[in-house]
Amino acid sequence: MNWIIAALKAMAKFAVLACFVLAAVIGLFVAWWIAVFAVLGLLAYVAVRRFFGARPRASEGSVVIEGEYSVHEEKERPRALDSTDGPPEKGPKNRLD
């Protein structure tokens, strides 16, 4: 009869120890995910701050520019000489000549 009581006490101690180990594993799992989400949240915060830039200063404000505006076409830029453009210009071939 004593061996049954000893076995029940041993099983109770084992069950308590198993519960503590299981609680520790679950705690580590939860802490891991809390840490991961905290780091991701910090990275998202930094990314949003960089995306939108610094806050505008109090002295800065919007400026209204009044007047008429027009868009002018660019003048045609001179193009590079081709072999089909005729004889090359006379003169030094490079700046060192």
- Token readout for 72 is 């002018």
Count of positions (residues) in the chain: 97
pTM of the model: 0.43
> Quick one: pLDDT band at residue 61, thresholds 50, 70, 90?
low
More confident residue, 43 or 54: 43
CA distance 83 to 87: 8
- Identity (one letter) of the amino acid at 1? M
- pLDDT for residue 40: 97
Confidence check: pLDDT of 82 > 90: no
